[in-house]
Structure 1
Amino acid sequence: MFHREQGITAQAFYKKYVGLDLDDYVSIINAPTEDKPFGKTYTVQCLGNVVGGKPIKYLNVDMETLKALAIHQIKDNESVWFGCDVGQYSNRDHGIMDTRLFNYEKTFGTSFGMTKAERLDYMGSCLTHAMVLTGVNLVDGKPNRWKVENSWGDKVGKKGYFVMSDEWMSEFTYQVVVHKKYLSENLQVALEQEPIELKPWDPMGALAYMK
C-alpha cells in the first residue's frame, strides 16, 4: 500500500516516524588491522559532511563483542543497522550470504586465503553497503545465522530479506550501530577517548565515498 505525506518538515517527520534519541546510539566497528587496536576510537577525515552535525566516531572491538552487542539489541526487539561488503559470497536471487556459497578454490584451482585484516589492508574488501539485522538464530547461546532486511525491494532475496551465515558475519561485516546502554562499563569508558583520525581513503570510510 502506498502512502504519501505532504507538507511535512524534516523535523516533524523525524518526531512522527522515528522518535529515537540518536545521541543514544553509537557506531561499533570490527577492523582487525595492526593500525587500529581494539578498544580505541576512530574518525575519518572528510567523512563528516554536515555543518554542525554529529562528528563520526567509531569504537573498534573484536568480532565476538560486536556480535554480542547486536544480539542484545535484537533480543530487545530492535533492529540493528550494519555495514558490510555485500558482494562477497552473496546471491541476491536466493537471498543468501554464506562463505561456503561458491567453491572458488575447486573451480579456479586457486585459494583466496587472505585474512579479514589482509583484505582490509589491500582493499580486497571494505564497507560497500548498509542493511538491517532483524533476527538471529541461537544454538546454545551462539549465533549460527542472521536475518537481514535489505533495501533493494521485495524482488530481491526472499521478499527483500536475506539469510546470512555467522561465518559470513565474521568475515564481511565491519560495523553495527547499537544503543550505548548495551556497552559494558569498560567499553563506555573507551568510547569517551579522543578519536584517532584516519585518512579519507581508509576502508572504514568506504561507505561514504562509495555512495
Structure 2
Amino acid sequence: MLENLPYFQRHLPEDLAKVNEVINRAVQSDVALISQIGTYIISAGGKRLRPIMTILAGKAVGYDDEKLYSLAAMVEFIHTSTLLHDDVVDESDLRRGRATANNLFGNAAAVLVGDFLYTRAFQLMVASGSMRVLEVMADATNIIAEGEVMQLMNIGNTDITEEQYIQVIQYKRQNCLKLPLKSAQFWAKLPPGTNRP
C-alpha cells in the first residue's frame, strides 16, 4: 500500500472533490430551511476523515467506481447527523470554532435536519443497489444510536465506570470509523472468506 502513496497524494484531492459534489447535491431540499442548515453544517468543513477512509479502503480492495463517492457521502451524512444530534443533547454552542446549528436555528430544526441527513444517507444506500452495504450501515447506525442514548443516561453520573465510559465511546465513534472500511469492502464484492475489518 505504501508504494501507492504518491498515487493517493495526487488523486485524493480529486476524489474528495467528487465526494463533495455528491454531498452538496444530496444536501439540497425543496424545504429551504433544510438546505440552509444542511449547507451550513456541511460547509463547516472538517477533516472528511470518514470519506477519505472510505475512498482509501475501496481503492485498496480494487473498487474504483463512481459509486464509491456516494458511499463516502453516505458515511459523511451519518457522521454529520450524529454531530447535529450530539450538539443538541450536549447543549453545545460551538463546533469547530463556529456557532452550532442548534445555536443558530434552534434545537428542533437541528434535530430534524440531522434526521434528514440520516435518511438521505439511507436513500443513497438504497440507490447503490447493495443490500449488504445497507445491512452494514443499518447495523452500525443502530449501535451509534444506542451509544447516544447510553451517553444521555449517564449525564451527570459521577459513578460511571471506566468500562461503561469506554463502551459509550465505542458505540458512538468506533462504528463511525469501522463503517467506511466495512462498507467499501462489501461494495467491492470481495469473495467469501476474505478477511473483513
- TM normalised by structure 2 equals 0.26
Q: Relative contact order (C-alpha < 8 Å, sep 6+): which is higher?
A: 1
**Greater share of residues in strand:** 1
Judging by fraction of residues, say which structure has more helix.
2
Who wins on radius of gyration, i.e. which is larger?
1
TM-score (norm 1): 0.25
